[in-house]
C-alpha cells in the first residue's frame, strides 16, 4: 500500500480525496499511510464533531489547519426532553475564539444544542471574511442583537443574478462576505426587537436560505419584503408564527423562485381578496417543493395552497391544528410527497388515504396533539401505521406517537418494510401492553429488529421485558442509536444490548432498572461508543467511580442536583450518568452539580 500511495502526485490525491465527503471514509483514508494522513490533513475542508467535549478546539486546529466548514453538537439528545439540567454546558465560545484566529477563511458554522452569546455572533460576523452559512439548531443564549451583527457585516454582492450554488462550489466568493444561509431552527432567541432584518445592507443580494420560524415576535415586514425581493437566488424562506397571512402573497410575488416555504399564521378574517391574492401568488411558485408552518389554520384558506401541492415532496404540518377532514383534502393533493410531518389529527382515515395516494413516501412523523391529555381525542391507532407500511414501498423512516399498539401490527409493519432504517414508536402512556392480548410488546419489536436488517435508529416504548433486549442484541447488528424508557426487568436487558449490538454508537436510557453489573461487565464496549446517557436508573455512585478508574479515555460524568454524591454511600443511585468518549480529558466548564470520575478520589 505504501508503494501505491507514493505512485500518485500529491495534487492528484488531493483531487481524488475532494470527492470523498463521508467523515468516516476520510478518517479511513488517513489511516492508510503517513503520506495519505498528511495529504488528507491538509486538504480536509469539513469536519463534524458530534460532541463538543470529545476534542478540544486546539486539537482540531492542529490536525486540520485549513477547514472551511465545521459542524458542532453540544448537549445530549435528551436535552430536547428537558432531561438535561439548566446550565449543564455546551458553550461554543471557546471554539469560536479559537477558530477566529486559526481559520480566517472559515465559511460555514453549524451548531446544535449549544449556548452561543451575542458576543460570539459578533465575533463570527467580524472574523471570517468569506463567511456564508450559519445554522443554529436548538441553540440558546443569544438575542436579535447578535443576529443584527451578523446581518450588518454582510457585504456587497458583485455577482447579482448568478447561480450562487455554482459560485459557491467553485470558490468564486473569495473576497467578500456573502452570507447565503441563516437558519435558526428551533432555537431560543431573546427577541429584543424585530428590526434586526433592516441591518442587512441594501446592496446585499446573495441570500439563499432564511429560517426565522423560531422567533416569537413579528419582524419588520417591510425590511423582510425588501430583503426577499432583492435576493434572486432565495430558495428557502421559513417565517415565524407572527407573520400575518395577508402579507404572504406579496412575499411570494417577490420570490416566485422559492423551493421551500414556511408560512406564518395561516389565519385571518375570511376575505375574498386575500384568498384570491394568495392563490395567484402560490400559482406563480413553479419550483416549490416543500411547505411548512401553517400555525393557527383557518381551513377556508387551505385551498389557496393547492396550486403547488402536486409538486411538493415535503410537507411539515407538525404545528398545524388542522382537523382530519381538511387534512385529508390537503394531503390528498400531494401525490409526490416523500416526507410528511403531521399531528395525530390526521387519524387512521388520513393515513389510509396517504397510503393510497403517496407511493413515493420515505419518511413519516406523527406527533401528539395533546400528549398530556387523559382522554382519547383522535381516532389514531396502530392501523394507520400498518396501512402506510402496506401502501408506501419506499418508507424507511418512522416516528409515530400513539396510545395503543399490538405485536401483530408491529410484525406486519416489519414484514412490509424490511427496508426500515429508523423506527421510533412512542406509546404515550408508559408500560402499555399489547391492548388486545395484554402481553408485552417484546415479540413485535423483536420482529422489527429481525426483519429490518439495516435498522440504524430505534426508540422503544410500551410494556417491555428483558426479552426484547435479547432480540435487539441478537439481530440489530447495524443499530447505531437506541433510545429506551420505562422498559426491562434487570441488568440482563442492558447486557444483551451492550454485548450484542456491534455498531452501537449512542445509547440513551431513562427510568429503567439497569445498573452496575451490566455496565461494569461491558465497560470495554463503552470505549467504542460515542456516548451513553442514563437517568433515573439503578446505577450507583460506586460503579461510576470504578468506571472512571477503568476507562481513562472516557469522561464519566455524574449529574446530581441533590448535592455531592460522595456525601452519600457508594451504593446510592445517581440521578443521571453521562459517559462519552474524549481525547481532551475532563471539561473545564462543569456546573456545581456535575462531577467527573477521573482519578483515585473520583471527585473533581
pLDDT one-digit tens code per residue, 167-200: 444 444 433 558 999 999 999 999 888 799 999 9
Q: What is the three-state SS of 445-457? A: HHHHHHHCCCCCE
Listed in sequence order, the residues at least 6 apart from 272 whose beta carbon sits closer than 8 Å to its beta carbon are none
Nearest to 394 by CA among 446, 336, 345: 336
Q: Is 47-234 CATH 3.30.70.141?
A: no
Q: CA-CA distance, 520 to 533, in Å (whole number)?
A: 15
Nearest to 443 by CA among 481, 470, 478: 470
pLDDT for residue 301:
94
Task: Look at residue 577 and give its three-state secondary structure.
Answer: strand
Structure confidence by residue, pLDDT tens digits, 97-114: 999 999 999 999 999 999
Q: CA-CA distance, 578 to 590, in Å (whole number)?
A: 13
Average pLDDT, integer, range 343-362 = 97
Are the CB atoms for 458 and 434 separated by under 8 Å? no
All 3 cell numbers of residue 588? 473545564
All 3 cell numbers of residue 412? 406486519
Are the CB atoms for 406 and 381 separated by under 8 Å? no
Which burial class, exposed, middle or buried, applies to 86 when counting CB atoms under 10 A from its CB (0-12, 13-18, 19+)? exposed
Q: In whole angstroms, how far apart are CA 136 and each of 96, 108, 142, 144, 183?
A: 14, 11, 11, 13, 6
Instruction: Determine what percent of the chain is predicted with pLDDT higher than 70.
Output: 91
Which burial class, exposed, middle or buried, applies to 545 when counting CB atoms under 10 A from its CB (0-12, 13-18, 19+)? buried
Strands 576-581, 531-535: pairing is antiparallel
Task: Look at residue 200 and give its three-state secondary structure.
Answer: coil
Q: What is the three-state SS of 213-225? A: CCCCCCCCHHHHH
Nearest to 357 by CA among 385, 383, 387, 378: 387
521 pLDDT above the threshold of 60: yes
Cα 180 → chain centroid: 21
All 3 cell numbers of residue 108? 460555514
pTM reported for the whole predicted model:
0.91
Q: What is the CATH number of domain 1-44?
A: 1.20.1280.50
Average pLDDT, integer, range 465-490 = 98
Nearest to 530 by CA among 91, 73, 99: 73
Sequence ranges of the domains in the chain: 1-44, 47-234, 528-604
All 3 cell numbers of residue 209? 436560505
pLDDT for residue 29:
72
pLDDT for residue 425:
98
pLDDT for residue 151:
96
pLDDT for residue 9:
66
First to last CA, the chain: 46
pLDDT band at 162 (very low <50, low <70, confident <90, very high): very low
Nearest to 53 by CA among 594, 602, 603: 594
Per DSSP, which regions of 82-144 are E strands? 108-112, 133-137, 142-143
344 pLDDT above the threshold of 50: yes
Structure confidence by residue, pLDDT tens digits, 271-317: 899 999 999 999 999 999 999 999 988 999 999 999 999 999 999 99
Q: CA-CA distance, 197 to 218, in Å (whole number)?
A: 11
- What's 587's DSSP letter? -
Task: Look at residue 580 and give its three-state secondary structure.
Answer: strand
What does the mean pLDDT of the chain come to?
A: 91
pLDDT for residue 40:
72
pLDDT for residue 341:
98
2 pLDDT above the threshold of 70: no
Residue the block writes with cell 413485535: 444
Average pLDDT, integer, range 51-60 = 97
Q: In whole angstroms, how far apart are CA 365 and each of 20, 314, 351, 430, 444?
A: 31, 12, 11, 20, 20
Q: CA-CA distance, 85 to 346, in Å (whole number)?
A: 34
Strand partners, 556: 579
All 3 cell numbers of residue 317? 404540518
Q: CA-CA distance, 26 to 41, in Å (whole number)?
A: 9
Are the CB atoms for 259 and 282 separated by under 8 Å? no
Q: CA-CA distance, 433 to 427, in Å (whole number)?
A: 10
Residue the block writes with cell 393510497: 356
Task: At 519, give phi and psi (nearest 5°).
Answer: -65, -50
Residue 82 region, left (φ>0) first, then alpha (ψ -120 to 50), else beta?
left
Biggest CA-to-CA distance, the chain:
75
Task: At 302, give phi and psi (nearest 5°).
Answer: -60, -40
* Lowest model confidence (mean pLDDT) among 208-217, 368-377, 586-595: 368-377
Task: At 145, give phi and psi (nearest 5°).
Answer: -65, -40
Nearest to 560 by CA among 591, 518, 523: 591
Helix extents (H) in 248-371: 248-254, 272-283, 306-309, 324-332, 347-357
Q: Do domains 1-44 and 47-234 have the same CATH topology?
A: no
Task: At 303, give phi and psi (nearest 5°).
Answer: -60, -20
Q: CA-CA distance, 524 to 589, in Å (whole number)?
A: 27
All 3 cell numbers of residue 39? 495529504
For 339, the enclosing helix (H) or strand (E) is strand 339-343
Taking the CA atoms of 192, 182, 40 and 66 in sequence, report the sign of the dihedral they define: negative
Taking the CA atoms of 93, 95, 96 and 102 in sequence, report the sign of the dihedral they define: positive
Q: Return the number of other C-beta atoms located less than 10 Å from residue 161's C-beta.
A: 9
pLDDT band at 158 (very low <50, low <70, confident <90, very high): very low
473 pLDDT above the threshold of 90: yes
Amino acid at each position: 500500500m505504501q508503494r501505491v500511495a507514493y505512485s500518485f502526485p500529491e495534487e492528484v490525491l488531493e483531487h481524488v480525496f475532494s470527492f470523498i465527503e463521508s467523515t468516516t471514509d476520510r478518517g479511513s483514508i488517513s489511516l492508510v499511510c503517513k503520506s495519505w494522513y498528511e495529504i488528507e490533513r491538509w486538504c480536509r475542508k469539513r469536519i463534524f464533531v458530534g460532541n463538543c467535549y470529545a476534542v478540544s478546539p486546539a486539537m482540531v486546529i492542529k490536525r486540520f489547519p485549513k477547514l472551511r466548514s465545521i459542524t458542532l453538537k453540544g448537549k445530549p439528545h435528551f436535552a430536547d426532553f428537558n432531561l438535561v439540567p439548566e446550565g449543564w454546558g455546551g458553550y461554543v465560545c471557546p471554539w469560536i475564539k479559537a477558530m477566529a484566529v486559526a481559520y480566517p477563511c472559515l465559511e460555514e458554522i453549524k451548531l446544535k444544542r449549544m449556548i452561543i452569546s451575542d458576543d460570539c455572533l459578533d465575533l463570527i460576523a467580524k472574523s471570517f471574511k468569506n463567511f456564508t452559512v450559519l445554522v443554529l439548531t436548538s441553540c440558546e443564549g443569544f438575542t436579535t442583537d447578535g443576529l443584527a451583527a451578523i446581518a450588518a457585516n454582510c457585504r456587497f454582492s458583485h455577482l447579482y443574478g448568478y447561480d450562487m450554488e455554482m459560485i459557491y462550489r467553485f470558490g468564486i466568493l473569495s473576497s467578500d462576505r456573502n452570507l447565503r444561509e441563516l437558519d435558526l431552527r428551533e432555537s431560543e432567541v431573546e427577541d429584543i426587537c424585530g428590526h434586526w432584518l433592516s441591518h442587512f445592507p441594501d446592496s446585499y443580494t446573495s441570500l439563499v436560505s432564511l429560517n426565522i420560524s423560531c422567533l416569537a415576535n413579528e419582524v419588520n415586514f417591510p425590511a423582510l419584503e425588501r430583503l426577499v425581493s432583492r435576493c434572486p437566488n432565495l430558495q428557502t424562506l421559513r417565517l415565524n408564527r407572527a407573520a400575518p397571512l395577508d402579507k404572504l402573497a406579496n412575499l411570494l410575488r417577490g420570490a416566485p423562485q422559492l423551493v421551500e416555504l414556511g408560512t406564518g399564521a395561516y389565519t385571518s378574517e375570511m376575505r375574498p381578496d386575500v384568498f384570491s391574492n394568495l392563490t395567484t401568488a402560490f400559482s406563480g411558485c413553479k419550483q416549490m417543493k416543500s411547505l411548512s408552518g401553517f400555525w393557527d389554520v383557518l381551513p377556508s384558506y387551505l385551498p389557496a395552497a393547492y396550486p403547488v401541492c402536486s409538486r411538493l415532496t415535503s410537507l411539515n404540518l407538525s404545528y398545524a391544528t388542522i382537523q382530519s377532514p381538511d387534512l385529508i383534502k390537503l394531503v390528498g393533493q400531494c401525490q409526490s410527497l416523500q416526507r410528511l410531518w403531521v399531528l395525530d389529527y390526521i387519524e387512521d382515515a388520513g393515513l389510509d388515504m396517504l397510503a393510497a395516494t403517496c407511493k413515493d413516501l420515505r419518511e413519516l412523523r406523527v406527533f401528539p396533539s395533546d400528549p398530556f391529555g387523559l382522554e382519547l381525542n383522535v381516532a389514531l391507532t396502530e392501523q394507520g401505521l400498518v396501512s402506510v407500511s402496506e401502501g408506501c414501498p419506499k418508507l424507511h423512516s418512522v416516528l409515530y406517537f400513539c396510545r395503543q399498539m399490538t405485536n401483530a401490527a408491529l410484525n406486519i409493519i416489519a414484514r412490509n418494510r424490511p427496508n426500515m432504517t429508523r423506527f421510533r414508536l412512542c406509546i404515550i402512556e408508559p408500560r402499555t401492553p399489547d391492548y388486545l392480548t395484554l402481553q408485552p410488546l417484546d415479540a413485535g419489536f423483536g420482529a422489527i429488529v429481525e426483519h429490518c436488517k439495516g435498522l440504524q435508529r430505534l426508540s422503544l416504548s410500551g410494556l417491555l421485558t428483558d426479552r426484547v433486549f435479547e432480540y435487539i442484541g441478537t439481530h440489530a447488528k447495524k443499530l447505531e442509536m437506541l433510545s429506551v424508557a420505562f422498559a426491562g426487568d434487570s441488568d440482563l436487558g442492558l447486557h444483551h444490548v451492550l454485548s450484542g449490538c456491534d455498531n452501537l454508537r449512542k445509547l440513551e436510557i431513562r427510568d429503567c432498572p439497569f445498573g452496575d453489573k451490566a455496565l461494569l461487565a461491558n465497560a470495554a464496549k463503552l470505549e467504542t461508543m460515542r456516548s451513553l446517557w442514563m437517568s433515573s436508573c439503578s446505577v450507583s455512585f460506586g460503579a461510576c467511580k470504578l468506571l472512571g478508574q477503568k476507562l481513562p479515555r472516557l469522561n464519566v460524568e455524574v449529574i446530581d442536583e441533590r448535592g455531592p454524591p460522595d456525601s452519600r454511600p457508594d451504593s446510592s443511585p445517581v440521578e443521571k450518568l453521562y459517559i462519552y468518549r474524549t481525547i481532551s480529558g475532563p471539561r473545564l466548564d462543569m456546573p456545581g452539580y456535575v462531577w467527573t470520575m477521573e482519578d483515585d478520589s473520583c471527585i473533581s
